Amino acid sequence: MSQGPTRIEMNEVAPRDGLQIEKRQVPTDEKIAFIDALSACGFKRIEVTSFTSAKAIPALADAEAVMQRITRRPGTIYTCLVPNLRGLERALSSRADELNLVMSVSETHNRANLRMTRDQSTAQLLAMLAEASKAGVACTVSLSCTFGCPFEGDVDPAEVLRLARTFADAGAAGITLCDTTGMAFPTQVAAICDEVSRALPHVAITAHLHNTRGMALANALAAWQVGVMRFDAAAGGLGGCPYAPGASGNVNTEELVHMFETMGVDTGVTLTPLLDVVAGLPQLVERPLSNQLLSAGPRLRTHPAPAWLADHFGAA
Amino acid sequence: MSQGPTRIEMNEVAPRDGLQIEKRQVPTDEKIAFIDALSACGFKRIEVTSFTSAKAIPALADAEAVMQRITRRPGTIYTCLVPNLRGLERALSSRADELNLVMSVSETHNRANLRMTRDQSTAQLLAMLAEASKAGVACTVSLSCTFGCPFEGDVDPAEVLRLARTFADAGAAGITLCDTTGMAFPTQVAAICDEVSRALPHVAITAHLHNTRGMALANALAAWQVGVMRFDAAAGGLGGCPYAPGASGNVNTEELVHMFETMGVDTGVTLTPLLDVVAGLPQLVERPLSNQLLSAGPRLRTHPAPAWLADHFGAA
């Protein structure tokens, strides 16, 4: 079996990608405590918020306050999603360390999700990359529906590469390949990640996976095997498609960290405080969340042998 | 990324491994209909029942009736678990095509689960292999806790190989490496499966995985990458540890089949009728079961684009 990098970087996206679709509007103070607790886990990156319109995403209307009041841990990069030039200005004013720009590889999904054609989005992202470059702030471009579109089905990998190259040429420091609705499968993930990273060796590739069809960890393994060393993930698997709660979210950060840890890969993240954060999520989002890893514990959490064994077999 | 075999064999274990721990004692007629429906999906093997004592596992007290009344599909191998020589005789009388014998690699787990030392179990299994050989019926030996023990923690891979070799030398046609409580991780699965199959090239290796910590499909991918081509799985992820329903069962057959199908691997199983069987499971076991793949559908199940797109952008 091919082995991947001995060290990876985890990008925790729950504060933005998770909280934006929760019914509960998490109060600013609780959000800040959540992000600070995540910082203490050792993440390389945390996607804190999105500088979007308060009307579009009321849950993230407090973007400035959150960015101002979180405690920045040295070593963690605090990123923000920015949908347009106005958002970019706000994020720069709030001293975002890095910016995340988004568009879709699929024309239909881009229109449905962003209300723009792909050409319009491309032009807008190029303008944003130019502005960010002037400010000296690194940008990652997230390409939604890289592995399939819920409207169009399969997407052409050549389109993924074309868009990735366009933004890399325009100065994007990273490209995030997003499995927006959980359509990716391992051999495809390996092939596309490999192709993009070979074509654009100076660009950092991030895998953004969803567990919609149970394949998130298998896809992460495949990405790692071809050398991907950055992963988006959400604590508790928050986020994703709201129509099937608990089933369609982002890959669980804790499961991803746990898997890599079992394989001896350094994630930078400490699992124990992360599981504490995960245990607090039902209170944060005010809905029940079942969590396999939290129930079972890390793989080496052992249990006492049944007491009757000693009676039956004598002392061991 | 290393590619595995283009064809695998699926062994559906829900009728035995799943139903044995359900609260509802499924009536014989419903069990038979369940198994017949599974047969129609094209499984290479179905583990139908266990010839154990009715007192130990009341849910499987109808083993003879079930074996007599199922419709045997040509091409499917109907296997039975047998815990001892008495069970083996009963299984042979019921014309089982193959037998599944079980013991644990872990001393503590073997004592707790089977109430015997590993030496006692080994002796018993060797006697059973001799009897089965006389009858000309193939046996697989399932080694519980191959990838870790919930009481002892890590187990020595040398013990796995020692026991596998013992039974292979005694005529076992197959060895099943069982991740009984979901402690396996991908690089470990690859290493152990690779080691055992290289050491015993004439023996068929089956991977029996649980999803306790979310890694079942990643582990299956790893096993496949080193050449494993037989997989145990349970429809709906039934079975496993009853203390955390839905979280700790066997790997879901439908998710495993779906993953291999997306990768172009021939599983012999047709997904559509299998998903119909899975949809009927809550009625069979009389408890709710959430199922990601059933909710989301296969990866290329697409949705109509929002109607407002045409108004907003004009005809495509």
Residues A188-197 have pLDDT tens digits of 999 999 999 9
A4 within a domain of the structure (yes/no): no
Question: Which of B179, B253, B302, B309 best tests the A interface by mutation, with the highest count of A CBs <10 A?
Answer: B302
Interface touch A313/B185, C-beta < 8 Å: no
Give pLDDT, residue A295.
Answer: 87
Give the distance, in angstroms, between the CA of residue A303 and the centroid of all CA atoms in the same chain.
Answer: 33
pLDDT tens figures, B41-89: 999 999 999 999 999 899 999 999 999 999 999 999 999 999 999 999 9
CA distance A93 to chain B (A): 33
Give pLDDT, residue B249.
Answer: 85
> What's the whole-number mean pLDDT along residues B256-263?
98
Interface touch A194/B1, C-beta < 8 Å: yes
A220 shares contact with chain B (CB less than 8 Å): yes
A150 shares contact with chain B (CB less than 8 Å): yes
| Span of B53-62, B117-126, B273-282 with lowest mean pLDDT | B53-62
Question: Which chain B residue shows the shortest CA-CA distance from A117?
Answer: B313
Q: Given A80, A139, A193, A241, which residue is catalytic?
A: A241
pLDDT tens figures, B6-19: 999 999 999 999 99
Integer Cα distance of B45 and B96 in angstroms:
11
A293 shares contact with chain B (CB less than 8 Å): yes
Question: Which of B299, B308, B311 best tests the A interface by mutation, with the highest count of A CBs <10 A?
Answer: B299
Give pLDDT, residue A129.
Answer: 98
Q: Which of A174, A117, A111, A184 is nearest to A146 (CA)?
A: A184
Percent residues over pLDDT 90 in chain A: 87
> Computed from CA positions of residues B16, B22, B25, B29, in that sequence, does the dihedral angle turn out positive or negative?
negative
Comparison of pLDDT for A313 and B137, the residue scoring more:
B137
A2 shares contact with chain B (CB less than 8 Å): yes
> What's the whole-number mean pLDDT along residues B158-165?
98
Give pLDDT, residue A245.
Answer: 43
pLDDT tens figures, B184-227: 999 999 999 999 999 999 999 999 999 999 999 999 999 999 99
Integer Cα distance of A83 and A124 in angstroms:
9
- In this prediction, residue A311 has a pLDDT band, given cuts at 50, 70 and 90, of confident
DSSP letter for A154, please. S
Task: Show which residues of B are catalytic.
Answer: 241
B304 shares contact with chain A (CB less than 8 Å): yes
Which tokens go with B83? 């815990």
Give pLDDT, residue A240.
Answer: 73
DSSP string, B5-56: -SB-EEEE-IIIIIGGG-SS---HHHHHHHHHHHHTTT-SEEEEEE---TTT
Give pLDDT, residue B316.
Answer: 52
A245 shares contact with chain B (CB less than 8 Å): no
Give pLDDT, residue B277.
Answer: 98
pLDDT tens figures, A71-116: 999 999 999 999 999 999 999 999 999 999 999 999 999 999 999 9
| Span of A241-255, B95-109, B134-148 with lowest mean pLDDT | A241-255
Which residue among A182, A221, A302 places its CB closest to the CB of B152? A302
- Spell out the residues 6+ positions from residue A41 whose beta carbon is closer than 8 angstroms to its own: A12, A269, A270, A273, A274, A277
pLDDT tens figures, A64-78: 999 999 999 999 999
**Which positions in chain A touch B194 (Cβ < 8 Å)?**
1
pLDDT tens figures, A131-180: 999 999 999 999 999 999 999 999 999 999 999 999 999 999 999 999 99
A72 shares contact with chain B (CB less than 8 Å): no
| Span of B76-85, B169-178, B288-297 with lowest mean pLDDT | B288-297
Does pLDDT of A316 surpass 60? no
Comparison of pLDDT for B300 and A13, the residue scoring more:
A13
Q: Which of B224, B295, B229 is nearest to A187 (CA)?
A: B224
CA distance A32 to chain B (A): 29
CA distance A289 to chain B (A): 12
Q: Using an 8 Å Cβ cutoff, are B191 and B157 in contact?
A: yes
B257 within a domain of the structure (yes/no): yes
A311 shares contact with chain B (CB less than 8 Å): no
Integer Cα distance of B130 and B235 in angstroms:
32
B151 shares contact with chain A (CB less than 8 Å): yes
B305 within a domain of the structure (yes/no): yes
- Scan for tokens 């990716």, then name that residue: A184
CA distance B289 to chain A (A): 12
Interface touch B290/A246, C-beta < 8 Å: yes
Give pLDDT, residue B245.
Answer: 43
Does pLDDT of B252 surpass 80? yes
pLDDT tens figures, A197-233: 999 999 999 999 999 999 999 999 999 999 999 999 9
A43 within a domain of the structure (yes/no): yes
Question: Which of B151, B185, B224 best tests the A interface by mutation, with the highest count of A CBs <10 A?
Answer: B185
Percent residues over pLDDT 70 in chain B: 97
Q: Find the CATH number of the domain harbouring A234.
A: 3.20.20.70
B2 within a domain of the structure (yes/no): no
- In this prediction, residue B241 has a pLDDT band, given cuts at 50, 70 and 90, of low
Print the domain residue range for A308.
Answer: 9-313
Q: Using an 8 Å Cβ cutoff, are B111 and A311 in contact?
A: no
Integer Cα distance of B179 and B21 in angstroms:
18
A with B: how many residue pairs have Cβ under 8 Å apart?
188
**Which positions in chain B touch A316 (Cβ < 8 Å)?**
108
Give pLDDT, residue A1.
Answer: 84
Give pLDDT, residue A246.
Answer: 44
A227 shares contact with chain B (CB less than 8 Å): no
> What's the whole-number mean pLDDT along residues B250-266?
97
- In this prediction, residue A315 has a pLDDT band, given cuts at 50, 70 and 90, of low
A277 within a domain of the structure (yes/no): yes
ipTM surpassing 0.90: yes
Percent residues over pLDDT 70 in chain A: 97
Give pLDDT, residue B315.
Answer: 61
Interface touch B296/A212, C-beta < 8 Å: yes
Q: How many domains are there within chain A?
A: 1
Interface touch A1/B194, C-beta < 8 Å: yes
Integer Cα distance of A236 and A253 in angstroms:
7
A51 within a domain of the structure (yes/no): yes
